[in-house]
Chains A and B, each alone.
Chain A
Amino acid sequence: MIINEKFTAIRKGLLEFLVLKIVAADKVYVADILNQLSGTEFATQEGTLYPLLSKMRREELVDYEWKESEAGPPRKYYQLTAKGREQLRETEDYWQQISATVKSLGQPAGPQTEANAPR
């Protein structure tokens, strides 16, 4: 629980990245995005997602088009723009870097650090 709270800011920051990934895979509408996130640590709500998508659209990372739905009014289907694709690539690279750093740090580089590792 404590860890969950400590990582709130990180999850929030990563949300945009994840939305980029989801939108990159397919044309989706908001309920799809929520569904895909719902099982994960990044489960979120419309109240957060709509403003985020709006911001991303303003930054020209995503775009949407109206599509008729089988039931009810037309929906906004989101897709990535060229700029969004570019950003996704950059972010993925950066994420690789980060996770590599996270993995490598604290690893036994020599015998003297072994003693310091709390076990």
Chain B
Amino acid sequence: MNKVIIINLNGIAYQLEENGYEALRGYLDAAAGRLEGNPDRDEIIADIEQSIADKFRAVLGANKTVVVTQEVEDVIEEMGPVQDASDAAPGGAPGGAAAQKPAPGAAAAAGEAPPPKRLYRIREGAQLFGVCNGLAAYFNIDVTLIRILFACMVLAGGGGVVLYLAMALVVPWANTAAEKAAATGSPSTAEEFIRRAKEGYYEGMKTFGDRRAFREWKWKFKQEMRQRKRDFQNEMRQNAEQWRTNWHQHWSQWPHPHPGWWFAFPLLGLMSAALTLLCLASIASLVLTGAVFGFFFPAGIHLWMGILILLVVFSLLKLPLKAIRYSCYCHGGYGPGYYRPVLHVWSSLVWVAFLVILLWALNSHSGHAHAAIEHVRAAAHHVVDALRDWWNTPSPRP
């Protein structure tokens, strides 16, 4: 079973199978395109339609009312491609002329077009960084929908978080009035595309009865859609470029630490931690034995004085490490380093990894450590049990 489309060829209705209709429409569109600029274009097309109608009539009869696709294709085959006789002299010109044609129209359309809509983050009514708000304004969709979409992306795998943060970083705030207008105001791109498509379509439907006007409209409509598509692509490209520059500006504001820092920074942390441990151990040694690892302070120095001296000495030892770390923060003299938190997070990760490896090594290579860890585990269980008991026992009434 095939859908049938009724067409009007020079005032007489014919029923065509859908695919046949598409083929015929393609043929006539191509013909109209190739005869572009020919003053008799409409007349030639009318003649051709007339001829096609004659051929259709030949295949139809009292018991056959529909032109099937194969018959349409045969007729098109029989007609042959439409070649503009006036263009015959300069060889190959028709194609070139047709291709060149939209260019001036495109320039004119671009010139009169309102300033393009841009993607900005919008502060008014923003929940977080205004990304969803900006997107909603850009595509003219309810902001709730965008937020739900983002929430779904977050739940579906966390890609939403990265996307959101990246956009929050890269997409600029709409600050000035012009930017706000560009963010929300003038219709453009997607929405405009759809609106124009609808409008054009209905307008076209109105003139459906008038064959010539319909063809004219169809051609214009196609041109316009093509132009819209080009504009949309241009705009996307511009946006991408803007975002790229924003991204560069954003990162160039902050000093880039030398890659070596990513290695040196945790190492420095480990070294200063080792010094701190050593400091604590020496203090413990002083308190317990009265001497620092067997080294006695001169007589007359009190215990508290000794501890103080140890603290000063160790902090002096740590000073160069601290200085190096600080110079890392302030690398390039840009003030408080932007990388500070990042480096700290990185440093803590290295620390955690270091501790895990240390514990694992102790656990598997030293019997004492293994026993101690087992003991700690037992103690932890004990503490947890005690806490639970305390929680479960009804508190005595005051």
Contact = CB atoms under 8 A, between A and B. Distances in A.
Interface of A: 12, 30-31, 44-48, 50-55, 57-58, 71-73, 76
Given A30-B47, A76-B47, A54 B40 contact: yes
Contact of A48 (B38, B43, B80): B80
A108 B335 CA distance: 101
Given A51-B35, A72-B57, A73-B12, A46 B48 contact: yes
Contacts, number: 64
26 contacts: A30-B51, A31-B54, A45-B79, A46-B48, A46-B79, A47-B31, A47-B48, A48-B82, A48-B83, A48-B85, A50-B48, A50-B51, A50-B82, A51-B38, A51-B82, A51-B83, A51-B85, A53-B47, A54-B38, A55-B40, A57-B40, A58-B39, A72-B54, A73-B11, A73-B50, A73-B53
A26 to B, nearest CB: 20
Nearest to A71: B57
B88 interface: yes
Contacts of B10: 73
Contacts of A44: 80
What's the dominant secondary structure at chain A's contact region? Answer: helix
Interface residues of B, number: 27
B85 A46 contact: no
- Give 5 nearest A-B pairs by CB, closest first: A45-B80, A47-B80, A55-B85, A52-B85, A47-B82
Interface string B32-63: 00010011100110011011011001000000
B112 interface: no
B308 to A, nearest CB: 106
A52 B86 CA distance: 8
B88 A12 contact: yes
B79 A47 contact: yes
A94 B118 CA distance: 67
Contacts of A58: 39-40, 86
Interface in B1-25: 10-12
B124 interface: no
Contacts of A54: 38, 40, 43-44, 47, 85
A17 B179 CA distance: 66
Contacts of B51: 30-31, 46, 50
Nearest to B84: A51
A47 B86 contact: no
A39 B80 CA distance: 17
Nearest to A13: B88
Contacts of B54: 31, 72
Nearest to B47: A50
B92 to A, nearest CB: 12
B81 interface: yes
B78 interface: yes
Given A54-B43, A72-B54, A47 B85 contact: no
Contacts of A48: 80, 82-83, 85
Given A46-B51, A47-B31, 6 more contacts: A31-B54, A45-B79, A47-B81, A48-B82, A54-B85, A55-B85
